[in-house]
Amino acid sequence: MIYTVKSPALLIIGILMLVWGGLNNSGVVDGMQSSLQASAYKDYQKVKEKFDAESRVATEMAAAENKPAPEMKMPKSKFDEAKAKQATLSNIFGGAFVLIGLFTLAWKPKQGNLDYLVSVVPGIAYILLIAYIVRWGLDPIFGNWGKAVKGAGILTWDFAKIFNLNYVVLGIVIGMVIVNVFKIPAWAANGVRTARFFLKTGVILLGTLYSAAELAQLGGLSVVMIGIFVLGSVGVVLFMGKRMGTPNSMTAVLSAGMGVCGVSATVAASPVVQAKAEEIAYTIGTILIWGVGCMFLFPTIGHILNMGPVQFGAWAGTGILNSAQVAGAALAFDPTNIETLKVAEIFNITRVLFLPIIVLWLAAWYVKHEEGAVKVNLAHVVIAKFPVFVLGFIAMFALSSAGTFAPAGHYQGKYFSSAEVKEDKLLKGKEARAIEGELTRLREAEGAQALSKYLVDKNVVLEGHKVTPEEVYQSLGDLAANKKMMTRQQNNVLKSVAKMEGLDALVAGSIDKAGKAATHDSKTIKAYRDWIAWLFAFGLIGLGMQITGKALKQAGGAPLVIGGIVGTAKAVGSLIVVLMFVKEFI
């Protein structure tokens, strides 16, 4: 079978990308970019204003000394970096697509691996072009509209933020519109199928952003929450299935899909309960229609309830059924910061790790309840069907914790180093004196009482023990003496009291300044963050292209009723637990 479909589409897409790269390099589209990248453009204006002032002073000083004006180069702003990144990505992929497009038109395809590999490139280019348009165009347009409408007083809230009209949601919606209204072009069909591969690659790379320090804070919580809701969901579906008279095989695969990780769990459980093809289709349809709704509804509820990244990540990772939908909801909630996605994936991965237990449970349940059930090799099914991307995630996590991508013990991609604090980032004398004055006040009776009450009321706990006033005094004294944070422990202690009501504003600002000066981004992890965002953007657009009306209609009857009841109970129950017991880190 020949997979390659001859079409000039790939060549045209490549040319369009090269044109966009050239326009950015030449500055022709700076006017348009300044409105799209409004925040970055403001940074450009500040950098230019500062540079012009420094250049003017340097020129005047040189003139006063009868010397030629010095040559000065304006530093790059965030706006310059954003344009350069767009140009680079457009030129690299555009050039590659032009070359492969020319090769495809000239080549006579023959059956084999090369034919299949060439056939997926047009679809990849198709999704990537949409990702460019959505991420560089529609996302900032809707973001600017939301702020403008709120700023004009037309609405009291940012509609783009509340309804999550960002590149993630817009990409999924555009994908759904394309497949259901316009259909996927024949030349792109093979490439669109690679979306899940890129999505799972993104999950694997997420392991580089975690460390044992983060898992220590979230791991125990995720195991307890996931254990309760996974086992509870599976048990309730099995109970309801028996009550409603659905076939045992149908009930079993539905319980795996609703309880563990959606489609992967459905596929893994189907051999051990001898599920029929239509039962698998019904289960996947139920999961799909429920998950798509959650993917859009969860972020809106999260914003309304003013949830933070830890709370929302815990809720999404527990309450949403499918891995891709968990990622979609987390990124829709916060598309610019990867922290929500990281927390959600910790819970999601924990849920996937329950898969072998659930498969064994369902196998035993099915043999017990189904007459004439054929026994299967459970070990073979668990090994053959266990998601490989989870093993990749764990491997990356292990490398990250060992310090491969950033110093060991890094937290959220950042590491602490007092030795790397630059001279110009040290606290000034005025700030040190303000800290000394505040330390004196906090040692006095009234200040000491207020500090003790704050630590107790806020239940400030670090590394397993409650922070004491003496630790705060010691940390403040060291900060005033050294004019910088010396240890991560000191930084965490002072961050915990910087929000205390009545604390001197200059002191609170100095604590924040010193903490930021001693906290450094790993360049490697920063690069991974960007690539992960692109992988998820690509994968979720492709996911949207696989959500057809036919697939949504497959969810019906008893499976939809059971799935709806259990899914709703799981979502609401996990939300209540999160709001009651999960707190953002201080």
Read off the pLDDT of residues 300-320 as tens digits, 9 standing for 90 and up.
Answer: 999 999 898 889 999 998 998
Q: How confident is the model at residue 215 (pLDDT cuts 50, 70, 90)?
A: low
How big is the CA angle at 324 (ends 320 and 325), to the nearest 5 degrees?
A: 35
pTM of the model: 0.70
- 165 pLDDT band, cuts 50/70/90, is confident
DSSP secondary-structure letter at 428? Answer: P
Determine the Cα–Cα distance for residues 59 and 71; give it in Å rounded to an integer.
9
Least confident of 244-253, 372-381, 491-500, 559-568: 372-381
**164: phi > 0 → left, psi -120 to 50 → alpha, else beta; which?**
left
Closest residue by Cα to residue 354 from 469, 475, 460, 256: 256
First vs last C-alpha separation in the chain: 59
- The per-residue pLDDT for 556 is 57
Q: pLDDT band at 586, cuts 50/70/90?
A: very low
The pLDDT value given to residue 371: 59
Report the pLDDT averaged over residues 512-539.
85
Please give the average per-residue pLDDT across 211-222, as a whole number.
64
The token pair that represents 10 in the structure block: 């790939």
> In this predicted structure, what is the pLDDT of residue 187?
95
Of 211 and 429, more confident: 429
CA distances from 338 to 222, 447, 465, 530, 532 (A): 18, 38, 29, 9, 9
Mean pLDDT, to the nearest integer, of 89-113?
94
Among 45-54, 362-371, 391-400, which range has the highest average pLDDT? 45-54
Q: Which long-range contacts (CB under 8 A, 24 or more apart) does 300-306 make?
A: 300/162, 300/163, 300/164, 301/575, 302/333, 303/161, 303/162, 303/164, 303/333, 304/162, 305/579
| Confidence bin at 464 (pLDDT 50/70/90) | low
pLDDT band at 357 (very low <50, low <70, confident <90, very high): confident
Query: Does pLDDT of 413 surpass 70?
Result: no
- pLDDT for the residue 472: 93
- The mean pLDDT value for 258-270 works out to 76
What number is the average pLDDT over the span 199-216? 73
Q: What's residue 240's pLDDT?
A: 93
Where residue 132 falls among pLDDT bands split at 50, 70, 90?
very high
Mean pLDDT of 454-471: 83
User: What is the C-alpha to C-alpha distance for residues 329 and 168, in angstroms, rounded to an integer?
Assistant: 8
As a whole number of angstroms, the distance between CA 312 and CA 101 comes to 43
Residue with tokens 């996911």: 543
Q: What is the pLDDT of residues 37-67, one digit of tens each?
A: 988 999 999 999 988 988 898 888 888 888 8
What's the rounded Cα separation, in Å, for the pair 193 and 197? 8
Between 163 and 86, the more confident residue is 86
User: What's the pLDDT at 450?
Assistant: 92
Residue with tokens 């509609």: 159
Q: What whole-number percentage of the chain has pLDDT above 70?
A: 89
Q: Where are the domains positioned within the chain?
A: 9-193, 203-411+558-581, 416-521
Give, as one character, the DSSP assignment of residue 466. E
Give me the phi and psi of 308, to 5 degrees please: -90, 180
CA–CA separation, 535 and 131 (whole Å): 10
Task: Compute the average pLDDT of residues 463-485.
Answer: 90
- Environment class of residue 356 by beta-carbon count within 10 Å: exposed (0-12), middle (13-18) or buried (19+)? middle
> How high is the pLDDT of residue 142?
92
Closest alpha carbon to 168 in 395, 330, 278: 330
> How many CB atoms are located within 10 Å of the residue 440 CB?
11
Average pLDDT, the chain: 85
